[in-house]
Amino acid sequence: MTPLRELGDFGLGVGLYFSIRVAMVIIFSLIGFLNALTIMAYYRSEAYDPSGSKDNLPYDMRASAICEFTMKVCLNWECKEKSRRHLCPVFRFEDGFVDIVSIAILLAYLVLITIAQQHQAESIDAGEPTAQDYSIVVRDPPADAVDPEEWRTYFSTYGHVTYVSIGLDNGDLLLLLAKKRSVLMELHKEEGIEQAQLQKSTFSDIMNKIFKSFAAQASTYAPVQTEEPAAEQVGDGAQKSKRASAMGRMSTFGKVEARASWHEEDDQKLDSMVDSIGKSEAAASWRRKEEGLAFREAENRDYNGHFKLFFQDLFPFTRDSTFFRARMHKLEREIQIQAQLPPKAVRVFVTFESAVSQQKCLQALKVSQLNMRANRGLPFGDRFRFQKVLSISEAPEPHDIMWTELSTTPLQLAVSLLGGVAAVLAFCIAGAIIMVVFKSFPWIVGLSMAGLNMAVAPVMNYVTLAERHMTRQSEHISMLLKLVTCRWFTSVIVYKALTPFENTIAYNSIATVRAILLSDMFLKPALQVLDIPGFIDHYILSMMMDTQEKMNRLFLGARWSLAERYSGMSTSIFITLSFAAIYPFSYFICAMANFLSFASDK
């Protein structure tokens, strides 16, 4: 088992994540024991509920603020509107003080962990210099500045320039080229499979073709004679009669028991027929594929409008070589159109020989956003082409840059985020509907909320991939915000909004909180350990694949996202802190949830 100190070898973020999980287990266990000696002991005592209505409840529920010691009260003079008043003394100074101290300890602990992790990250970053430490990025270059030598000359004032990379407005072209490469690989695979299947004909298929061929030839000759042939047939006619007799025997093969043995020339004829059938089929297949570009284009034009293309788009396992040839033709036309567009510079990445030169450049060309937009704040000698005030900052890591999205404008980004907003609203509405419909069934609500919180991750992953982000970091932040919003809203905000204040410490309300916490603690780690999708891929779908590469893809590990893990951890903490005052046992549940998640993630 990998020690905790070595988990950072998988990445700095991974190591910090597991460290935080361990820290949460420790701090929530300590806070839980602190509350067990104070608030939980008070909730179990007769001083809080002298009615004895909690005696039959589970231990953790007896240590909660459930109060069945109530009385009816009238809300108007006519007493037409009635409600119930809880007589249990919920609010005590000492209990409130313990709760505030618990929160203060948690916040102080989080601050200390954050500082320690920042120092750890800085020490690791200082010990491992990266391209980011030597590079800058120009975010608003002139569109026609596509000559690297011009940029090298401009920035050489601040130090030796090692590399200049110009990001062009060709994201669509890059995507099309990547799709073409993928489609071309699939086309080669499908053609290889079809050719292998063609040459791998079974013996029974070949024999059936031979029998049909012999039967067709036999129909052109006279019926088989049972008497001896005439003398005049001994010459050339003897050979024809002999052939007809063989054809007759072949046409009746399978109906009577074969007693006659094949002659040597019949064996040779059988072998030649087997070879000729296989070779003719292969030649015909490749002839159909090599008939020329004009035929292919016509075939593709007809195929593009066919229902089969739409069906194969929906079901990838039905795709064949014809589908991929049609896709290739379509992509080639789109690539030709994109390649004719003039290049435009959208980003410029400059890498200096030393980090000192990078810092010198950043300090010399640094201006405020207001001055940059007004094209002022720098002497004319420091401006690009003696005119342009550039927006310059430290460059991100090369692997963090999404090169196909460099030309994304703020408006395009905002429009692409609308899909994420719609998905978040849909999940929030679904959580509200579940809470309203099943409010009388705590465990149904708890399991449904846990399932909804798990389902939101893959959905938001697809939504985020459809958005336009210029860096991986921006993409991960967008994913995290959507997950946190959905999970916090469905788990806590919906409950508080739909639960009347007078029912806050009612049995059904606290039972719902307990069900949400326990479902969140057990369901997700259990499903991660069982790995049902992985089992289906490994033992069911893998046996249906027709190539080794396709099968290997099904044995890849599950996708591991830090945004999803952090959102799950923050959801558990948010639920705990939201209901700890009325259900203090949630501290222990949160500690256990972090431990189980640590074990299942590891």
Q: Any residues with CB less than 8 A from the CB of 446 and at least 6 apart, and which?
A: 512, 514, 515, 516, 517, 518, 519, 520
Please check whether residues 421 and 385 belong to one and the same domain: no
Question: Last residue of a domain, which of 375, 396, 417?
Answer: 396
Neighbours of 200 (CB within 10 A): 9
| Whether residue 71 is found in the same domain as residue 151 | no
Asked if residue 320 belongs to a domain, the reply is no
pLDDT score of 263: 40
Residue where a domain stops, chosen among 351, 367, 396: 396
Do both 527 and 416 map to the same domain?
yes
- Residue 488's Cβ-side half-sphere holds a number of Cα atoms within 13 Å equal to 14
Residue 472 shares a structural domain with residue 579 = yes
Whether residue 423 is found in the same domain as residue 533: yes
What are the phi and psi torsion angles at 268 (to 5°)? -65, -40
User: Is 456 in the same domain as 574?
Assistant: yes
Instruction: Please tell me whether residues 430 and 461 are part of one structural domain.
Output: yes
Whole-number pLDDT of residue 342 = 87
CATH code assigned at 369: 3.30.70.330
User: Who wins on pLDDT, 101 or 270?
Assistant: 101
In a domain, 322, yes or no: no
300 in a structural domain = no
Asked if residue 352 is part of any domain, the answer here is: yes
Q: Which of 368, 396, 424 lies at the terminal end of a domain, its last residue? A: 396
Do 152 and 341 meet the contact criterion of CB atoms below 8 Å apart? no
Q: Report residue 308's pLDDT band, with 50, 70 and 90 as the boundaries.
A: low
CA 137 – CA 406 distance, rounded (Å): 12
| 384-437 tens-digit pLDDT | 988 888 889 988 888 888 888 888 877 878 888 888 888 889 988 988 898 888
Q: Are residues 58 and 149 in the same domain?
A: no
The pLDDT value given to residue 6: 64
Q: Would residue 285 count as lying in a domain?
A: no
pLDDT in tens, 34-64: 888 777 777 777 777 777 777 777 877 888 8
Do 507 and 518 lie in one domain? The reply is yes
- 80 falls in which pLDDT band (50, 70, 90)? confident
Number of domains the chain contains: 2
548 assigned to some structural domain: yes
Kindly state whether residue 440 falls inside one of the protein's structural domains: yes
Per mean pLDDT, which of 22-26, 148-152, 204-208, 295-299 is the most reliable?
148-152
Q: Are the CB atoms for 391 and 138 separated by under 8 Å?
A: yes
User: Binning pLDDT at 50, 70 and 90, where does residue 600 land?
Assistant: confident
Most confident of 98-102, 164-168, 440-444, 581-585: 164-168
Residues 461, 373 share a domain: no
Rounded to two decimals, what is the model's pTM? Answer: 0.68
**Which residues span the domain enclosing 594?**
4-129+406-601
Same domain, 357 and 480: no
**Residue 351 banded pLDDT, cuts 50, 70, 90:** very high
